[in-house]
Amino acid sequence: MKKALNYLDVLILLLALWIFHDLDFSNLTLFDKVYIGTFGIWFVLFILRIIIVLKKRFAGKE
């Protein structure tokens, strides 16, 4: 699991949550929309990386 999760990912996740906390979702600017989209893409790729690492890990044990 350590291959899938590193300190930079934790930092990105914490900063993203902090910025999401301060967003005004009723009045989003273009920058806010780009930020939300970028974070969404990063999050999907992060989940896929975890799935791939876990599949390789469990495939080696079978």
**Given this model, what pLDDT does residue 22 score?**
87
Q: What is the pLDDT of residue 44?
A: 95
How confident is the model over 18-46, as a mean pLDDT?
A: 92
Q: Which residues contact 4 (CB under 8 A, 6 or more apart)?
A: 49, 50, 52, 53, 54
* Span 33-43, average pLDDT: 93
Residues 62 and 60: their CA atoms lie apart, in Å, by 6
Parse the chain into domains and list their residue ranges: 7-61
The reported pTM is 0.77
Q: How many CB atoms lie within 10 A of CB 30?
A: 7
Average pLDDT, the chain: 86
How far apart are the C-alpha atoms of 25 and 44, rounded to whole Å? 21
